[in-house]
Structure 1
Amino acid sequence: MSPPRPDLAPDADLSREEMESLQREIAAAAVFEDDFEFDPATLGDPLASASSPEDPPVVAGIDQSFLSDADGDQDRALSAVVAMRGGEVIERVHAIRPLEIPYIPGLLSFREGRPILAALEDLSVEPDLLLFDGSGRIHFRQAGIATHIGVVRDVPSIGIAKSLLCGDPCEDTANLPTGTRVAVESNSRVDAPDGTLIGYAVQTRQYDSPDRSINPLYVSPGHRVGPETAADVALALASSYKLPEPVRLADSYADEAKREIGDAP
């Protein structure tokens, strides 16, 4: 187990070249294989504690919302964290920080990382696993937001993205049956040898109709989780909806917190 790396925390004052260089350092420090002590089979099982002398692991879902100034321009990020154990919510926290840079593809963690780290600092429980609405290793420099924050905190992490940032699925991903996973391999847009397994397209839900279809999620290891386990976790925690429950609830809580401070979505 590697130590936390606060020295690699997102810094919006860096130049673009410095940010990209830092991401390569983060990718080099990341562990893209299983390195944790909990049993993934107990992640979303409310009965796990009855069959085990130990509590189920704590899974924290993380998502973002954005607040606007008087002119309607987004100027702050609201990071929401929902911690779950055995399928039950045990804590919710959020943090608000200024947006310091515009959205730049591939540099999301430098825009949203500071409020996420602030929210995690406010969490009283220690997560065993972090699930992000964003990418992990499926990233140009193998260091999406799930990898960046996972390495900084040295907590196992997984990226759950709704669209494919880079890489090539090994098969067609259209209208996949529920439970299907398709390997995503690196290509010339990724800082890895072509053909490196960087994640999976995972079909967590699908319509029972030939006329409608749901797109897959793009699931990738962030830190201390392998690609196969990342896909397993996404499927196991997507109980009734497309998104895994911790991420879905974090998305809902981000909107709720936004409404509570008077900035409705």
Structure 2
Amino acid sequence: MREPPARFDPDPSLSRAAMEALQRDIADAAVFGDDLPFDPARVGDGDPEAPVVAGVDQAFRTDRDPTVAVSAIVCWRGGEVVERTHAAVEVDFPYVPGLLSFREAGPILAAFGTLDHDPDLALFDGSGRLHFRQAGLATHVGTALDVPSVGVAKSLLCGTPRGSVDALPETARVPIEVREDDDVDAPVGTVIGYVYQSRQFPDSRRINPLYVSPGHRIGAETAVGVVARCGGDYKLPEPTRLADAYADEMK
């Protein structure tokens, strides 16, 4: 992987105002449309030439002072794991809604620096454009590395679904747009992500949906499509599910 430009450094010593200004600069540099080096319809194909998808997740050792972030990356191609790597980095910046990348992006970039593969796409446990300043974790890291990226979050930070998201059937997708009263730096009516019901079971046991958004070099509709193609038997797309398990293992 190439070195990220210094101007995108997720420096946790910055003031809040400076962090928010940096996020706006990142959003300006990000590409929220398809600019992909692969055919998204081939993601997940059982083919040695299928795109390499990097699932990214973290676990934290809070019994240390400062806390240690274990950033895990699992590279997945055609349903098979082709590489696993991780980095353990001390962090002393707390979780602050809207500023997650200043806690997690540094350790994640360290893990990307140890990869042998150059992934075609990265899936993050966090938001991309579904962010107050359109620069969640997937956008920050994806833009810094200039890698197509998607955010896959378990909760909705901002934006408004166009329809009800209660009791969605499996594979249902509901656009998330910006409305007048949403605190989002994007024009009203812009689709900034999708609610995606990845799994549902016959016994009607409730499974909360995922919130998928473009990070960099991919559009919202294509982003939810590739997440669907990475699906398995669980709620999370397989690359991030595997990264979650690997991060816990390394912790």
User: Does the alignment reach a TM-score above 0.5?
Assistant: yes
Structure of greater Rg: 1
CA distance in 1, matches of 2:227, 2:52: 15
| Of 142, 145, 150, the match for 2:142 | 150
Matched, 1:255 2:215: no
Matches within 5 A, 1:60-209: 60-69=54-63, 75-187=67-179, 188-209=182-203
CA distance in 2, matches of 1:6, 1:206: 43
Q: Is the 8 A contact 2:66 2:92 kept in 1?
A: no
CA distance in 2, matches of 1:74, 1:40: 40
Q: Is the 8 A contact 1:27 1:142 kept in 2?
A: yes
Where do 5+ consecutive residues of structure 1 fail to align? 50-54, 259-265
When normalised by structure 1's length, the TM-score is 0.90
The residue type equivalent to 1:148 in the other structure is H
TM-fit CA distance, 1:69: 3.4
CA distance in 2, matches of 1:33, 1:216: 23
TM-fit CA distance, 1:40: 1.3
Q: Is the 8 A contact 2:148 2:217 kept in 1?
A: yes
The match for 2:8 is 8
Matched, 1:19 2:13: no
| Of 184, 206, 210, the match for 1:213 | 206
The match for 1:33 is 33
The residue type equivalent to 2:190 in the other structure is T
CA distance in 1, matches of 2:201, 2:36: 34
3-state SS of paired residue (2:113): helix
Q: Is the 8 A contact 1:220 1:227 kept in 2?
A: yes
TM-fit CA distance, 1:6: 3.8
When normalised by structure 2's length, the TM-score is 0.95
Q: Tell which deviates more after alignment, 240-249 or 34-43.
A: 34-43
Where do 5+ consecutive residues of structure 2 fail to align? none
Q: Is the 8 A contact 2:120 2:147 kept in 1?
A: yes
CA distance in 2, matches of 1:120, 1:165: 26
How many pairs are equivalent?
Answer: 247
Q: Is the 8 A contact 1:6 1:153 kept in 2?
A: no
TM-fit CA distance, 1:68: 2.6
The residue type equivalent to 2:243 in the other structure is A
